[in-house]
Amino acid sequence: MKFRVNGTAYKLDPLPGEMLADLLRSRLGLTGTKIGCNEAECGACTVLVDGLPVLSCSYPAARVEGKDVLTIEGLAAVPGIDARIEDLHPLQQAFVLHGAVQCGFCIPGQIMTAGALLQTNPDPSEAEIRHALKDTLCRCAGYPTILRSIQAAAYALRTGEPVPPPSVAVSGDAGAHATIGHLQPRPDAVAKVTGAAKFTDDLHFEGMLHACVKRAGVPHAFLRKLDVEKARALPGVAAVLTAAGLPGERNHGIVIPDWPVMVGVGERVRYVGDAVAIVAAEQREIALQALELIVAEYDLQPVVAGPVQARQADAPSLHAGGNLLKHIKVRKGDVAEGFAQADVVLEHTFYTAITDHAFLEPECSIARPVQDERGAGHQRMEVYVGSQIPYADRNQVARALGWSEERVRIIGQLMGGGFGGKEDIAGQIHAALLAQATGRPVKLLFDRHESLLVHPKRHSTQIRVKVGARKDGMLTAVETELYGDTGAYASLGEKVLTRATTHSSGPYEAPHARADCYAMYTNNPPAGAFRGFGVTQSAFAVESMMDMLAEKLGLDPVALRRMNALRVGSVTNTGQVLEESVGLLECIQRVEAEMYRRAGDQPFRAQVVPGQPHKRRAWGFAVAYKNTGLGGGAPDKAGAEVELYSDGSLEVRTSSAELGQGLVTILQMTVAEEFQVAPERVRVLVMDTDLTPDGGPTTASRQTYVTGNAARHAAQALRQAIASSLAEKYDCPPEQVRFIEGLAQVGDQRLPLGEVVELLKAEGRQPRALYEYWAPTTKPLGEGGKMHFAYGFAAQAAQVEVNTLTGEVRVLCLIAANDVGRALNPLGLQGQVEGGAMMGLGNALTEQFVVENGQVITDRLARYRIPSIELTPEIVSIVVEHPTSEGPYGAKGVGELVSIPTTPAITNAIYHAVGMRVDRLPVNQELLLSTL
């Protein structure tokens, strides 16, 4: 078969069953084409065949006979990792400059699809772009920015002018800084738009085996019999391992080690994704075939299908300690007294669904045994993986191998999204066990189906809210009772549901508050961290309730919130006095103003759409808060190291994870700011447990604050060391040493930074500084005082349109204000805001991970729907900056906050449009219609 790829002619025959994506990725090494689903749903694998975009994951390779294929690698004039931005195609340039690249996994598909559109339509309208990109999904969901990037590129292509820059405002504090607060594209953006960026599955090692996992497929059972002999005998199989003969610890778990590495004969299966055997073979197909030869027999047990059932006395007990993972309590004042003072008491129960992160890059781990360089004679294990907590992976892998931690090195890779779903162990341990057994590198790649079945989800919850208020609207008491489904294993369940509980009375000051949460084990897939960390669920409940209360009292919903809103001096329901950085009132006021500007004076009254009497529109409002950092008494620290090189460049190192959220840009900007060099002079190395100090988990919106501070302090420490050296040499006080434009300045002497390196080395000092930053201490829940060192605050308004003939709901506009302390990189913030809002929209309208009696129904991306560009409303971002004194330059976390108020803003708008109170997520259009 003859064909051309990116202009190069090839003569290669197709293999049996081979798809074009396999040919490109495996045989031609063109790994810029990504596989997000392998089921024609996501568009990540889009390439052009004779100019037309097709999905290469389901396009038989045999079909390219005589055709011309264009992949992302063929788009730029100068391809590859060294490409400069000027060498790129205008689409690539625009995606970089406008900040459309976040995790980057979908980007090759976005650019190829958009490129095809621009070839036939050089000046597409917004609607035409949406239509063309309809099935090219981005989970980081910077859809509005993607749209603007395409328009900017189209302009450049049409006119021959440069790509117009983005119109994102700088931080209010940008004037005080050279870099911080200004717009900065990601350091990895160019590699991501050219396809040069490598994700774990793009790596290949000599002699590498491919692993697959035999999953139980039953939700609750005892493994009666397991026979792997036939699988072992299959030619091409290198190893089949079971729970019998595990070299190290039998369980893993990020907080509680309750999750079996593999379930052994006689042991309990607790969910469909439990592993019973693992296989490594020369090829993936052989490993898959071997799975089918494994015979596993089970004694089925009654299924615990939900948290309420799990708490009943007659429910089967899933773990040694029973089904209750934790009873979490919040107590403030005396709610009985509070309700007695109330003029109105309302009570309602809300339900939220399990949802999946659906990060576009499915989990992949490669374990590779290597000889210890220090010649100690024993092996070490390298694990290449996109993980949110590299040091926790190291610990868990080492324990499972029965090795000391130092013998394991986690080498973190670019991550195609995480959102909390890459905190737990996925394939790391299994790959390492197989590599240990075979002495060869082993790749374990989940396909989308396996990813959906196995990794921890967002907790589904049942939340009863009872509020009491005086006639004037002042809250007197809030009482909540939550049931959270933590599934088969603990994961981060206790922490997530603690956050759900402490935030369950909303960002309001109620004199009396009480919350009880039952975190329950069930036979559903485990639930763990997911952007919002429990607060997404409780905010939906309490923000719906606040609207119900406003209606009952005949008050304006915004006024009711303003009246009760947390402010400086308020006492939270956990007894914390808020001392600073509480921008909630400003968020409320600015969203309200923008909403009225657009809506006229009755935003909450339903409007009939002119000419379409069956369509009604209205606005809805909601607020939220979210802690920054671990809090609750957990030590919260991060290490970072900054080094100066003799070419004058700098490197900042920390194990903290980059999942697309933009931490690497923040670290780069921070060091650049401290040394007054251009950001491009600063390299960022993250996620390598041999080379980077522990930055702690990438969770709880903590990295900008905690690791950002570590990097800032490390940079300052290095600067001071340099200053004192120079001060000695030039005999002046260290304060007179300044850093300007890549130079160190002492009096009228100017030294290139590179020369300083030689100077330090000559003095026997290393040109680097390591800093371990400890965030302010916090108090455990129940002890009162400072439970969290900072909170972010947000308000949103949503405008919806409901079709009263079909029940269909569309979101037309979202106005989002976020108090982020300081916008360190407004470009990255824009992406977080848009993506977060879209995730909240998905949570309201599209996402529902369906499990029936422990069996997963939504086991394909085609059944689990995440928002596409077609559902994307106009998103107006308002940045509110109430700096927090200890945050780096005043910043606090934003990653989760941005997505929390979206869901209730939408459901409140639906109520105003058609009078249906949504108390179960996601919105069911059929149910909605039936209530009209």
Ligand X SMILES: Cc1cc2nc3c(=O)[nH]c(=O)nc-3n(C[C@H](O)[C@H](O)[C@H](O)COP(=O)(O)OP(=O)(O)OC[C@H]3O[C@@H](n4cnc5c(N)ncnc54)[C@H](O)[C@@H]3O)c2cc1C
The Cα 151–Cα 154 span in angstroms is: 5
Residue 202: which of 188, 214, 192, 212 has the closest Cα?
192
Identity of the residue, 40 or 929, whose beta carbon is nearer to ligand X in the bound complex: 40
Total Cβ atoms within 10 A of residue 313 = 4
Minimum gap (Å) between residue 43 Cβ and ligand X: 9
Minimum gap (Å) between residue 95 Cβ and ligand FES: 9
Angle at 338 between CA 336 and CA 341, to 5 degrees: 110
All residues at 6 or more sequence positions from 83 whose CB lies less than 8 Å from its CB, including other chains: 76, 190, 194, 196
Peptide bond into 922 cis (omega under 30): yes
- Sketch the per residue contact string, 487 through 516, with ligand FES: x for CB under 6 A, - otherwise: ------------------------------
Identity of the residue, 137 or 913, whose beta carbon is nearer to ligand X in the bound complex: 137
The Cα 93–Cα 194 span in angstroms is: 10
User: Where in 157-186 is the site for ligand FES (CB under 6 A)?
Assistant: none
Using DSSP's 3-state secondary structure scheme, residue 379 falls into strand
Q: Which helix (H) or strand (E) holds 460?
A: strand 460-469
Identity of the residue, 353 or 721, whose beta carbon is nearer to another protein in the bound complex: 353
Under the binding rule (CB under 8 A), the answer on residue 858 touching another protein is yes
Under the binding rule (CB under 6 A), the answer on residue 664 touching ligand FES is no
Total site size for ligand X, rule CB under 6 A:
3
Minimum gap (Å) between residue 414 Cβ and ligand FES: 11
From 52-60, 84-92, 764-772, 828-836, span contacting another protein (CB under 8 A): 52-60
Under the binding rule (CB under 6 A), the answer on residue 866 touching ligand X is no
- Residue from 91, 871, 913, 918 touching another protein (CB under 8 A): that is 871
Under the binding rule (CB under 6 A), the answer on residue 383 touching ligand FES is no
Angle at 799 between CA 797 and CA 805, to 5 degrees: 150
User: Where in 118-147 is the site for ligand X (CB under 6 A)?
Assistant: 135
Minimum gap (Å) between residue 848 Cβ and another protein: 5
Residue whose beta carbon is closest to ligand X: 40
Q: Which helix (H) or strand (E) holds 624?
A: strand 612-628
Q: What is the biggest distance separating any 2 CA atoms in the chain, rounded to whole angstroms?
A: 83
Burial of 249 (0-12, 13-18, 19+ CB in 10 A): middle
Total Cβ atoms within 10 A of residue 442 = 31
How many residues appear in the chain? 932
The Cα 722–Cα 756 span in angstroms is: 7
- Residue from 44, 515, 667, 769 touching ligand FES (CB under 6 A): that is 44
Using DSSP's 3-state secondary structure scheme, residue 927 falls into helix
Identity of the residue, 306 or 417, whose beta carbon is nearer to ligand FES in the bound complex: 417
Identity of the residue, 136 or 460, whose beta carbon is nearer to another protein in the bound complex: 136
From 76-84, 100-108, 243-251, 919-927, span contacting ligand FES (CB under 6 A): 100-108
Choose from ligand FES, ligand X, another protein, none: what does 42 bind? Cβ within 5-8 Å by kind.
ligand FES
Under the binding rule (CB under 8 A), the answer on residue 464 touching another protein is no
Identity of the residue, 47 or 435, whose beta carbon is nearer to ligand FES in the bound complex: 47
Identity of the residue, 419 or 791, whose beta carbon is nearer to ligand FES in the bound complex: 419
Under the binding rule (CB under 8 A), the answer on residue 913 touching another protein is no
Under the binding rule (CB under 8 A), the answer on residue 920 touching another protein is no
Are 270 and 454 in contact by the 8 Å Cβ rule? The answer is no
The Cα 862–Cα 717 span in angstroms is: 52
Under the binding rule (CB under 6 A), the answer on residue 32 touching ligand FES is no
Are 550 and 563 in contact by the 8 Å Cβ rule? The answer is no
Choose from ligand X, another protein, ligand FES, none: what does 53 bind? Cβ within 5-8 Å by kind.
another protein
β-partners of residue 798 are 620, 814
From 57-65, 314-322, 490-498, 532-540, span contacting another protein (CB under 8 A): 57-65
Minimum gap (Å) between residue 36 Cβ and ligand X: 13
Minimum gap (Å) between residue 57 Cβ and ligand X: 11
Identity of the residue, 41 or 274, whose beta carbon is nearer to ligand X in the bound complex: 41
Residue 621: which of 921, 928, 901, 922 has the closest Cα?
901
Tokens read off for 771: 């800093």
Tokens read off for 625: 């808060």
Identity of the residue, 360 or 841, whose beta carbon is nearer to ligand FES in the bound complex: 360
Under the binding rule (CB under 6 A), the answer on residue 43 touching ligand FES is yes
- Torsion angles phi and psi, residue 580, rounded to 5: -165, 170
All residues at 6 or more sequence positions from 456 whose CB lies less than 8 Å from its CB, including other chains: 421, 423, 424, 487, 489, 491, 492, 525, 526, 527, 528, 529
Choose from another protein, ligand FES, ligand X, none: what does 808 bind? Cβ within 5-8 Å by kind.
another protein
- Sketch the per residue contact string, 29 through 48, with ligand X: x for CB under 6 A, - otherwise: -----------xx-------
Angle at 899 between CA 592 and CA 902, to 5 degrees: 45
From 32-40, 200-208, 605-613, 806-814, span contacting ligand FES (CB under 6 A): 32-40
Classify strands 512-521 and 475-487 as parallel, antiparallel or unpaired: parallel
Under the binding rule (CB under 6 A), the answer on residue 45 touching ligand FES is yes
Choose from another protein, ligand X, ligand FES, none: what does 784 bind? Cβ within 5-8 Å by kind.
none
Enter the DSSP assignment of 531: T
The Cα 724–Cα 731 span in angstroms is: 10
Minimum gap (Å) between residue 37 Cβ and ligand FES: 4
Identity of the residue, 427 or 867, whose beta carbon is nearer to ligand FES in the bound complex: 867
Are 504 and 482 in contact by the 8 Å Cβ rule? The answer is yes
Identity of the residue, 642 or 871, whose beta carbon is nearer to another protein in the bound complex: 871
End-to-end CA distance of the chain: 60
Under the binding rule (CB under 6 A), the answer on residue 361 touching ligand X is no
Under the binding rule (CB under 8 A), the answer on residue 16 touching another protein is yes
Minimum gap (Å) between residue 116 Cβ and ligand X: 17
Tokens read off for 679: 């950001």
Query: CA 884 from chain center: how many Å?
Result: 24
Choose from ligand X, ligand FES, another protein, none: what does 106 bind? Cβ within 5-8 Å by kind.
ligand FES
Report the helix count and the strand count for the chain, using DSSP H and E: 23, 36
The Cα 125–Cα 134 span in angstroms is: 14
User: If you write DSSP's letter for every residue of 692-713 in order, what string do you get?
Assistant: S-----S-TT-HHHHHHHHHHH
Minimum gap (Å) between residue 848 Cβ and ligand FES: 20
Supply the angle between the helices 663-675 and 703-730 in degrees, to the nearest 10: 20
Under the binding rule (CB under 8 A), the answer on residue 43 touching another protein is yes
- Sketch the per residue contact string, 648 through 667, with another protein: x for CB under 8 A, - otherwise: --------------------
Identity of the residue, 20 or 751, whose beta carbon is nearer to ligand X in the bound complex: 20
Under the binding rule (CB under 6 A), the answer on residue 190 touching ligand FES is no
All residues at 6 or more sequence positions from 500 whose CB lies less than 8 Å from its CB, including other chains: 459, 461, 463, 482, 484, 517, 533, 534, 535, 537, 538
Are 656 and 418 in contact by the 8 Å Cβ rule? The answer is no
Minimum gap (Å) between residue 135 Cβ and ligand X: 6
User: Where in 328-367 is the site for ligand FES (CB under 6 A)?
Assistant: 360
Supply the angle between the helices 703-730 and 753-762 in degrees, to the nearest 10: 70
Minimum gap (Å) between residue 420 Cβ and ligand FES: 15
Contacting positions for another protein (CB under 8 A)? 14-18, 38-40, 43, 46, 52-55, 58-60, 62-63, 65, 113, 116-117, 132-136, 285-286, 288-289, 449, 805-806, 808-809, 845-848, 850, 857-858, 860, 862-863, 865, 871, 922, 925-926, 929-930
Contacting positions for ligand FES (CB under 6 A)? 35-38, 40-45, 55, 57, 102-107, 138-140, 360, 417, 660
Contacting positions for ligand X (CB under 6 A)? 40-41, 135
